[in-house]
Amino acid sequence: MAITEQEPLQTLQPELGTNGFAVVPGIFTSQEVAAILQEIERADSLKDTFRKSGGLFAIRQFLKEIPETRALIFNARLKQLINRLFGSNYFVVKSIYFDKPAASNWFVSYHQDLTISVDRKAAVAGFGPWTVKQDQFAVQPPVPLLENIFTVRIHLDDTDAANGALNVVPGSHRKGIYRPENIDWAVEKEHTCCVPEGGIMIMQPLLLHSSGRTQNSRSRRVIHIEFSDREMPNGLKWAERLAVL
C-alpha cells in the first residue's frame, strides 16, 4: 500500500508491522534526485567496491565511497521520517547502490536479507554461517537482530513491474527464517511495490522479496540503506557504521 503525502505519518507504523513494508512518495524532489545522480556519475568506478557489467552496476559501502551524497540523501524529510518511525538512535549499517540498466536480463528469486556486514570474522554464539568477498565479511546474525534492522530503498527512477520493481510477500517478515521453497502460494499473496521517482520503500529484511527482469527501456536505480540501533557483541563491529546526519 502506498502512503500518500496527505495521510498521517503514524499510519506507517501499523503498515510496517503488519505487512513488513510501506511506500512513501515525495521524499526527494526531481532536483535532489538529479544532484545525487550527478555525484554518482562523478565517482571513480575503478574501485574494488564498484561492480560493473552489462546487466548490473553496483556500489558497495555507497555512503563511504561517495560521501558527497550524504547531505543530499539525509534531507529534512527523510530524517524526520526515520526519527518519528524508529527514534533518533538508529545509524547506518549498510549502503548499496544498484543500477538495473535498461538492457538488463537480471532476475532475483524470492529471498530474505539474512546477512549483515561486519569488520572481521569471530567466533560469536548465534552468528553464522560466514562469507568473505573482497575482504568484506558477512554473517547471518540471530533473528532478533535482523528483526531490529529496517531498510530504506531510495528510488531514483519511476519503478514498476516492467523495470524490476520488488515483488514481496506481505507479512512474511513475521515468520522468522522463511525458506522460499516453503512458500505456500495457496495461502500467501504477492504484491508488486511500485515506487515513483524520489519516493522510498521502507522494508524489514525478513520480508520475502524478489525482482523481475527489465521489460522496457527504463533503468531502475536504487540506493539501499540499512539501519540499526544495536552494537555488535564480543567486540564485533559493523563494517559500515555511519550516523544519520
217 in a domain, yes or no? Answer: yes
Confidence label for 194 from pLDDT (cuts 50, 70 and 90): very high
Q: How many domains does the chain have?
A: 1
Question: CA-to-CA distance for 161 and 19, rounded, in angstroms?
Answer: 19
> Does residue 212 lie within any of the structural domains?
yes
Q: What share of the chain in percent tops pLDDT 70?
A: 88
80-90 pLDDT, tens digit each: 999 999 999 99
Q: What is the pLDDT of residues 52-68, one digit of tens each?
A: 554 447 888 999 999 99
Q: What DSSP string runs through 123-184?
A: --TT---EEEETTEEEE---HHHHHH-EEEEEESS-B-TTBTPEEE-TTGGGGSS--GGG--
Q: Which H or E run includes 64?
A: helix 62-65
Band (pLDDT 50/70/90 cuts) for residue 213 is: confident
The confidence band for 168, taking pLDDT boundaries of 50, 70 and 90, is very high
Residue 4 lies in a domain: no
Domain enclosing residue 206, as ranges: 9-243
User: Taking a C-beta distance cutoff of 8 angstroms, is the pair 168, 190 a contact?
Assistant: yes
Looking at residue 42, which CATH number applies to its domain? 2.60.120.620
3 within some domain: no
pTM score above 0.95: no
Asked if residue 1 is part of any domain, the answer here is no
Residue 182 lies in a domain: yes
Residue 132 covered by a domain: yes
Residue type, 186: A
What does the pLDDT look like over 101-126, one tens digit per residue? 766 567 889 999 999 999 999 999 99
Q: Is the pLDDT of residue 221 over 70?
A: yes
pLDDT confidence of residue 69:
97
Q: Is residue 2 part of a domain?
A: no
pLDDT band at 46, cuts 50/70/90? low
